[in-house]
Structure 1
Amino acid sequence: MSKRGGGTEQALALAKGKKIRAAEDVLKQVKALAAELKSNNEAEKTLTELNLPYNCREVVDKDTDEVLSEIEAAIYGVAASIMDGEGFSFDIPSRAKGNQMYVPELDRIVLRDTVSKRPFANTATCRKAAITSRILGLVHELVGKRIHVTKRDLFYTDVKLFEDQGQSDAVLDDLACMLGCTRSSLNVVASEKGVVVGRLSFREDGDFIDCQRMGVGGKAIPPNIDKVSDISSDAAFILLVEKDAAFMRLAEDRFYNTYPCIILTAKGQPDVATRLFLKRLKSSLKIPVLALVDSDPYGLKILSVYMKGSMNMSYDSSNLTTPDIKWLGVRPSDLDRFNIPQQCRLPMSEEDIKTGRRLLEEDFIRANPEWVKELELMLATKVKAEIQALSSFGFQYLTQVYLPLKLQEGDWI
């Protein structure tokens, strides 16, 4: 009937007892979801409107003059403290896990407004205070000159002091939180990581970009989202993909031509630019976001960062999160439903199981009963599977059968 690895779409679909209909019919459920989103004109809630019994800290985009004023005010405060005989220290918002919490009304993680001292005259914090002063000076220079650098560039300005990039990166986040501005407002960006392809066009710093003409590799997501304008698309949905391998398959098969969509990936753990870009697309286009991740605890963890925010950047969760992403696959229940071969199902390690159990304890997971059900199934069977397990039925099974069937049936949670 069909050859292994190169069979027709219909033969493979019928083997599962399902028939894939025409593209218009496949997308009916997606379009219904899009219509529901567009009809929901409810404005996104803010922390201020909730009147919570505790204070929280959030940041906003600030222009050059505002950032310069904040930095200069911080330095003036340090100088005044020294003149008053109280010593040299910074007031740094605490980003520790204990200071973060999930707010169901916002459906994301927020940072409570607890501040700690970072004094120079203390052996435990003197080095970090020095790093804070150094980066504050470097950011002042960048913003004043109106130029942008990568986090790696920043690290190489003083390797001896910073020792490793993790330390300079952490202090950069501290400063954004302290100054009340987004990290991008500090003119320091992450290196390009995420890519996008499909039914999308926009201008990047004035240059016209057509993402249908970017080949298999796609267009690198701009590290400075502020330079993106004139976003236009006829896509029915956004497909968020965990891994580069699945992205390449989708791009090479021109999946977006048959099923009009925008496909993007951060190639694993989501970076800030990809999260900002996804939020911008969702806000501008008002179309559903469907996620394709591995059927393992880390796939769900990655998805939760896009939706609820990360612990490291909880202070900027309002700008970085896209709460209403739908989990399309690969879900634990899909393994039996699509008869994934046993040899493609991997045993979960002890660390996998611990991560899964920790996820089950998270408030944002408990808030979604269907997620709980899938995660409990994963832990009960103690097996996981990658998106690539679908290739056991043929290299194009993902694009020709699995995704069309999932879309056709509206099988997302």
Structure 2
Amino acid sequence: MSGRKTIGTIKMRNRQVTDSLKGLGTRIYDQIEDRKFPWVDIKSRTSQNIKMDEKLGQYVLGPKTIKRSAHNRRNLKPLSQILWVSTVGKELLEQNKTSTLRDVFYMAQGEGTEIQFAEQSESDDIITDLETVLNAAREDLHIYPKERSAIFGDLTVEYTSPPGWEGQKRNTALDPNGTVIGPPMTSAEFVKCQADKLIVVEKHAMFTRFIEEGAYKKFNALLISSEGQAPRATRKLIRRLSTELDLPVMILTDGDPWGISIASVIIHGSVNCAHLRDLNTPEAVWAGIYASDIVKYKLPTVRMTDRTMQKRGSDVEKLDKLAQFFDTPAFKNTVWQKEIALYEKLKRKCELEAFSRYGLSFVVDKYLKDKIKEIGFS
């Protein structure tokens, strides 16, 4: 399975998105030529229109749509903003440049621009509307949030951006800090990969520990630090590594409801991204920390917060929501149901660093080794 490579994936996707943008512009132009008020259909993102597609293994939007027409004066500004952002995306693609969400907010305040946003949340919402219209992620338009994740291992990539870096190759194991998963990494082509698995870890501190302990060599793996809830660009990269290179993916998180949620979003997607595809990896495996791991390895724990300790966003409240989500026939007798039930019984949580009670090397030499064997990745 060594030496796999994929070339042309990013260029093909860029052409598809450019064609979608041109198609949007053509539809608006034709509507005006026909002396009609221009309009776009946007799939509703209300909770009532979001469902879990068991075949795809992710949240998707239902059939309900919202028509945003210039015939309604209230729609004039948001419709103009959608078209303006589409123009920004087209220019970014044509110039092979990238932008941040914050950049887009300030670009709208430029001289001669009449569609200024009151605050960034407004421009972020308009970008999401455009994603829904195009069926393409903002990252496909070269618009990114703040970057924070990293990748490490024997993977050689070829950059397709930024200008001046096209065609340059880099192995992600060259920097002991890892390679930042920013726009250049997200849009890079995979040239050669010697690893046969991908390990995603929630915390950068544990990512560093895995590098120092040589986990990438011992288990022939690529490593990704999600830095908490994985950014969309990171989730998309995980998906690409899984589908384009056939890498099995395992996810390690803290032993708490929030860690379970992090793994679930990577695998099943999120409600907020129900309008998009290719951001989740259904074949990925949540490998721990399980509640049973806490018991098996006698890990140090602390009590989960509840409503008496924290009115909103407590651990117990989050655990209850997860229990409800996984209480369906599709997840019957799965590790999700079993481990969540045990967490509900224990009402205790722990961090990945808890394995350090047995020494710094234990988490790699014992726990990770056992987990890889347990889930059949060895």
Q: TM (normalized to structure 2)? A: 0.81
Closer, same or farther: CA 199–365 of 1 in aligned 2, 3 Å: farther
Aligned to 1:199: 154
**Amino acid paired to 1:289:** V
Which stretches in structure 1 are left out of the alignment for 5+ residues? 1-33, 35-59
Q: 1:381 pairs with 340, 346, 349, which one?
A: 346
Q: 2:236 pairs with 268, 276, 286, which one?
A: 276
**Amino acid paired to 1:288:** P
Matched, 1:132 2:82: yes
- After superposition, give the CA deviation of every residue in 1:161-199 in whole Å (9 maximum; x if it has no partner): 323333222221211221233433323233432211123
Question: Is the CA contact (8 Å cut-off) linking 1:94 and 1:116 kept in structure 2?
Answer: yes
- After superposition, give the CA deviation of every residue in 1:26-82 in whole Å (9 maximum; x if it has no partner): xxxxxxxx9xxxxxxxxxxxxxxxxxxxxxxxxx8653651342231343266368x
Closer, same or farther: CA 67–295 of 1 in aligned 2, 3 Å: same
Aligned to 1:348: 305
Question: Is the CA contact (8 Å cut-off) linking 1:366 and 1:372 kept in structure 2?
Answer: no
Closer, same or farther: CA 405–174 of 1 in aligned 2, 3 Å: same
Aligned-residue Cα RMSD (Å) equals 2.8
Question: Is the CA contact (8 Å cut-off) linking 1:176 and 1:186 kept in structure 2?
Answer: no
Aligned to 2:105: 155
Closer, same or farther: CA 304–366 of 1 in aligned 2, 3 Å: farther
**Amino acid paired to 1:349:** D
Which stretches in structure 2 are left out of the alignment for 5+ residues? 2-12, 110-114, 161-166, 308-313
Aligned to 1:391: 356
Aligned to 2:8: none
Which residues of 2 match residues 239-278 of structure 1 at below 5 A? Answer: 239-278=199-238
Question: Is the CA contact (8 Å cut-off) linking 1:202 and 1:229 kept in structure 2?
Answer: yes
Q: 1:305 pairs with 265, 278, 284, which one?
A: 265
- Rounded to whole Å, the distance in 2 between the matches of 1:359 and 1:136 is 36
After the TM superposition, which of the residue ranges 238-247 and 357-366 deviates more from structure 2?
357-366
Matched, 1:212 2:173: yes
Shift of 1:365: 6.7
After the TM superposition, which of the residue ranges 190-199 and 267-276 deviates more from structure 2?
190-199
Shift of 1:361: 1.9
Q: Give secondary structure in 1 for the equivalent of 2:276.
A: helix
- After superposition, give the CA deviation of every residue in 1:5-29 in whole Å (9 maximum; x if it has no partner): xxxxxxxxxxxxxxxxxxxxxxxxx
Shift of 1:411: 7.8
- Rounded to whole Å, the distance in 2 between the matches of 1:124 and 1:386 is 49
Q: 1:184 pairs with 117, 135, 139, which one?
A: 139
Shift of 1:391: 2.0
- The structure whose residues are more often helix, as a share, is 1
- Rounded to whole Å, the distance in 2 between the matches of 1:226 and 1:268 is 18
Q: 1:328 pairs with 287, 303, 323, which one?
A: 287
- After superposition, give the CA deviation of every residue in 1:177-223 in whole Å (9 maximum; x if it has no partner): 212334333232334322111232222232221122211x1011242
Shift of 1:91: 2.5
Closer, same or farther: CA 194–78 of 1 in aligned 2, 3 Å: farther
- Rounded to whole Å, the distance in 1 between the matches of 2:221 and 2:146 is 26
Closer, same or farther: CA 363–380 of 1 in aligned 2, 3 Å: closer
Question: Is the CA contact (8 Å cut-off) linking 1:62 and 1:181 kept in structure 2?
Answer: no
- Rounded to whole Å, the distance in 2 between the matches of 1:310 and 1:77 is 35
Shift of 1:375: 0.6
**Amino acid paired to 2:170:** I
What is the aligned residue count? 347
Question: Is the CA contact (8 Å cut-off) linking 1:291 and 1:328 kept in structure 2?
Answer: yes
Question: Is the CA contact (8 Å cut-off) linking 2:215 and 2:364 kept in structure 1?
Answer: yes
Question: Is the CA contact (8 Å cut-off) linking 1:194 and 1:264 kept in structure 2?
Answer: yes
Question: Is the CA contact (8 Å cut-off) linking 1:91 and 1:117 kept in structure 2?
Answer: yes
Aligned to 1:19: none
Matched, 1:167 2:167: no
Which is higher, the Rg of structure 1 or of structure 2?
1
Shift of 1:116: 0.6
Shift of 1:127: 5.1
- After superposition, give the CA deviation of every residue in 1:68-105 in whole Å (9 maximum; x if it has no partner): 42231343266368x44xx5654322122221111222
Matched, 1:234 2:175: no
- After superposition, give the CA deviation of every residue in 1:228-278 in whole Å (9 maximum; x if it has no partner): 224422323211111111111112222212221111022111112111111
- Rounded to whole Å, the distance in 2 between the matches of 1:376 and 1:132 is 45
Question: Is the CA contact (8 Å cut-off) linking 1:221 and 1:273 kept in structure 2?
Answer: yes
Closer, same or farther: CA 163–394 of 1 in aligned 2, 3 Å: farther
Q: Give secondary structure in 2 for the equivalent of 1:117.
A: strand
Aligned to 2:9: none
Closer, same or farther: CA 320–62 of 1 in aligned 2, 3 Å: farther
Aligned to 1:13: none
- Rounded to whole Å, the distance in 2 between the matches of 1:321 and 1:328 is 16
Matched, 1:361 2:314: no
- Rounded to whole Å, the distance in 2 between the matches of 1:247 and 1:147 is 30
Question: Is the CA contact (8 Å cut-off) linking 2:326 and 2:336 kept in structure 1?
Answer: no
Q: TM (normalized to structure 1)? A: 0.75
Aligned to 1:91: 41
Shift of 1:113: 2.9
- Rounded to whole Å, the distance in 2 between the matches of 1:113 and 1:230 is 36
